[in-house]
Structure 1
């Protein structure tokens, strides 16, 4: 079903972009129509091949899959700008004298925005610092630094070498604990010998902890869990631990499949935190679903950490994501609990981000005055 959507949407964007670019006089004067549309057809064939081949195999099959995702993102951004030019000119029915100028400006703006989105998608994630007051945190733990990372999506686009650079970033923050909030892989296990030693390079005296995201379940979740465990990562799958005296860390299994079935999906949270807690508690839950957020706050959780939304990743998808998850980015107060939804460190689909750069979260825990 997903590939069908990519086929239809990608084809429509591709044809619209090709038609609008060829309507520009400088293009039409220099390139014969037959040559232009032959080239458009060849690019479309490569795009369609990439959608069906995918980018999982790291051999010749990698580049068509990567091309199709990247071209989809570029076509979308450029089409937005050209559509704005079309609306301004009434699709050529008014302001005819300025139609060429508007379309040329739209094409130029689209190219610049697409290049900017690619640079944001490929650059290192930024460090975002946040102080959080936990009402039950002992004074002895005031100032404890926790680093949270989500949605790294290791796979065809990002491998252990990319992760090694993130380890350097994280260690520079001198965290007491590192929390991995799900979607650590694109789908299948990473399968690299370098993964385990790279993960063991993380320096966190209170440990490196992880929860599953929806993408872990698109492949062999148990194999993914095992290969991260070889790197010293400990998983919280509907359980909680004492991170330090007076500070609990809980993690629930991803709820993506339960959400799709439209049934209740708070069972894992109820098993993990069965009653109201009087201990300072941090909850890791990949998806910031409203039912989970409200139930966690009612159980006395002090801080809930989630990812999944990517902050919309490419504007204006942020508006659609916000319809699904009203608290879709940043810090939110929910009763006495703080919810933080991170944009994630990686990306999904096109390696592009528009106005929503990847991030790593440095959280400084504070005891109440």
Structure 2
């Protein structure tokens, strides 16, 4: 079903961009109609083949799939700009004298904007600093640095060199603990010998901890868990541990499949936080689902960390994401609980981001001042 939707949407965007570009005098005067549309057909066939072949991580099928996803992103961004030009010109009927200039401007803007989105998607994630004041945090832990990373999506687009770069970024922040907030892989387990050795390069005295995301379950989740465990990562699957005296860390299994099937999906959280404990708790939950947020607040969580939304990734999809997850990017205060939903370090689909790049979150924990 997903491939069918991609085929339909991608075809419509491709045809619209091709037709609008060929309507430009500068293009028609240099390329025959036959040559243009034969070329457009060949590009579309490559796009169609890429969607059908699938996103196999490390073999030859990676290239057509990545081309298809990238082309989908490029044509979407260009369509936004060309549509704006069409609206300003009344689709060529109201401002005929200016139609060529407006469409040319739209085409140039689309190319530049797509190039910028590719740059933002491929660049290293930025470091975002956030101070978090937590009630009941022991004074001895004031100033503790926690690094949180979500939506790495290791696989076809991001491999050994990319992960090694992120390990270096994280180590430079000198964290006490590193938290991986889900979607560590694109779909299938990485299945590469470099994964364990690269992950073991992370330096965090209080450990490297992870929770599952929805993408772990699109492939063989149990194998993915074992691969990361071999790299020294410890998983919290509806489980709570004590990071330090007065500071607990809890993580719940991804709730994506249960959200799609309907009904209550807070049972894992209820089991994990069954009773109050001394000090304060950090909760890792991949999806910032409103019932999970509310249940975490009611159970006295001091800080909840999530990802999943990618901050919308490509504008204007953020508005659609916000309809599902009202708290979809950034810091929020929820009835005394602090919540941060990170945009994630990687990307899904086209390796593009518009407007903001991926991020790695550095959290500095602060004890609340005495009353």
Q: Is TM > 0.5 for Structure 1 vs Structure 2?
A: yes
Question: Do the aligned partners of 2:144 and 2:366 also contact (CA within 8 Å) in 1?
Answer: yes
Which residues in structure 2 correspond to 1:181-200 (within 5 Å)? 181-200=181-200
Establish whether residue 116 from structure 1 lines up as the match of residue 116 from structure 2.
yes
Q: Is the 8 A contact 2:57 2:155 kept in 1?
A: no
SS of residue paired to 2:91:
helix
**What do residues 223-267 of structure 1 show as CA deviations (whole Å, max 9, x unaligned)?**
000000000000000010000010000000000000001111101
**Any conservation in 2 of the 1:252–1:269 contact (CA below 8 Å)?**
yes
| 2-structure distance, mates of 1:253, 1:212 | 6
Aligned partners of 1:222, 1:62: CA distance in 2, in Å? 24
Q: Which runs of 5+ in 1 are unaligned?
A: none
Show the counterpart of 1:156: 156
The ranges of structure 1 where at least 4 consecutive aligned residues each deviate by more than 6 angstroms after the TM superposition are: none
Residue of structure 2 equivalent to 1:310: 310
Cα pair 2:303 2:339 within 8 Å, conserved? yes
Kept in 2, the 8 Å contact 1:276–1:298? The answer is no
Q: Per the alignment, in what secondary structure is the counterpart of residue 30 of structure 1?
A: coil
CA distance in 1, matches of 2:144, 2:60: 47
2:271 aligned with 1:271, yes or no? yes
1:203-218 alignment runs, 5 A limit? 203-218=203-218
Show the 5 A alignment for 1:50-61. Answer: 50-61=50-61
Q: Cα offset for 1:277?
A: 4.6
Distance in 2 of aligned mates of 1:289 and 1:279: 25
SS in 2 for 1:35: helix
Secondary structure in structure 2 of the residue aligned to 1:133 = strand
Bigger mean CA offset, 233-242 vs 259-268: 259-268
The aligned counterpart of 1:27 is: 27
Whether the 8 Å contact between 1:269 and 1:296 is mirrored in structure 2 is: yes
Give 1:74's aligned residue: 74
Distance in 2 of aligned mates of 1:112 and 1:276? 53
1:170 alignment counterpart? 170
Matching residue of 2:17: 17
CA contact (8 A) 1:278 1:300 kept: no
TM-score by length of 1: 0.99
Cα-Cα RMSD? 0.7
Structure 2: runs of 5+ lacking an equivalent: none
Instruction: Give the superposition deviation at 1:54.
Output: 1.8
1:277–1:301 CA contact under 8 A, matched in 2: no
SS in 1 for 2:262: coil
The answer to whether residue 60 in structure 2 is matched with residue 39 in structure 1 is no
TM-superposed CA distance for 1:297, in Å, is 0.5
Aligned residues: 369
Alpha-carbon distance in structure 1 between the residues aligned to 2:118 and 2:301: 38
